Amino acid sequence: PPRSAPPATRRAPPPPPALGPRAVCGACFCAAFEAEVLHTVVAGRLLPPGAVVAVGASGGKDSTVLAHVLQVLAPRLGISLRLVAVDEGIGGYRDAALAAVRRQAARWELPLTVVAYADLFGGWTMDAVARSTAGSGRSRACCTFCGVLRRRALEEGARLVGATHIVTGHNADDMAETVLMNFLRGDAARLARGGGLGSPGEGGALPRCRPLQLASQKEVVLYAHFRRLDYFSEECVYAPEAFRGHARHLLKLLEAARPSAVLDLVHSAERLALAPAARPPAPGACALLDGLNRGRPRLAIGKGRRGLDEAGPPRDGEPERAPAPEAVPAF
Partner 1 sequence: MCQVGEDYAEPASEEPPPRQPGREQKCVKCKEGLPVVVIRAGDAFCRDCFKAFYIHKFRAVLGKNRLIFPGEKVLLAWSGGPSSSSMVWQVLEGLSRESAKRLRFVPGIVCIDEGAACGLSPEARAKTLAEMKLILQTVGFPWHVVALEEVFDLPPSVLRCFAQEPVETEGAYKAAVDSFLQQQHVLGAEGAGDSPSLAQGEEQLSWPCTQDPQNPQSPDRPPTAAQTEALSRLFDSVKTLTAKEELLQALRTHLILHVARTHGYSKVMTGDSCTRLAIKLMTSLALGRGAFLAWDTGFSDERHGDVVVVRPMREHTLKEVAFYNHLFAVPSVFTPALDTKAPEKASIHRLMEAFMLRLQDQFPSTVSTVYRTSEKLVKAPRDGCAASPPGPRCLLCMCALDIDTADSATAFGAQTPLHLSQTQPPTPPPTAPCCSAGMGRVQGCCGGARPCEREDPRACVIEQLCYGCRVNMKDLPSLDPLPPYILAEARLRSQRYQRPLCSGSPGGPWGGAPAGPLPTQLLPQGLHRAADPGVPG
86 annotated as belonging to a binding site for a ligand? yes
Cα separation, 116 vs 138, whole angstroms: 27
Question: 105-110: long-range contacts at Cβ-Cβ below 8 A with a sequence spacing of 24 or more?
Answer: 105/57, 107/230, 108/67, 108/68, 108/71, 108/83, 110/67, 110/71, 110/81, 110/82, 110/83
317 binds partner 1 (CB under 8 A): yes
Site string for partner 1, 65-104 (x = CB under 8 A): ----------------------------------------
250 binds partner 1 (CB under 8 A): yes
Contacts for 86 with CB less than 8 Å, ≥ 6 apart: 56, 58, 114, 115, 116, 117, 150, 153, 154, 157
Q: By C-beta, is 78 or 312 nearer to partner 1?
A: 312
Q: By C-beta, is 114 or 134 nearer to partner 1?
A: 134
> How many chain residues interact with partner 1 (CB under 8 A)?
83
Interacting residues with partner 1 between 208 and 247 (CB under 8 A): 213-216, 219, 241, 243, 246
Tell me which of 96, 139, 162, 233 binds partner 1, using CB under 8 A.
Answer: 139
Tell me which of 38, 128, 263, 308 binds partner 1, using CB under 8 A.
Answer: 263
Instruction: Using alpha carbons, list the distances in angstroms from residue 89 to 105, 175, 262.
Output: 20, 26, 32
Interacting residues with partner 1 between 268 and 287 (CB under 8 A): 268-275
311 binds partner 1 (CB under 8 A): no
How far, in whole angstroms, is CA 275 from its chain's centroid? 24
Bridge-based pairing state of the strands 112-116 and 80-87: parallel
56 annotated as belonging to a binding site for a ligand? yes
Site string for partner 1, 2-31 (x = CB under 8 A): xxxxxx--xxxxxxx--xxxxx--------
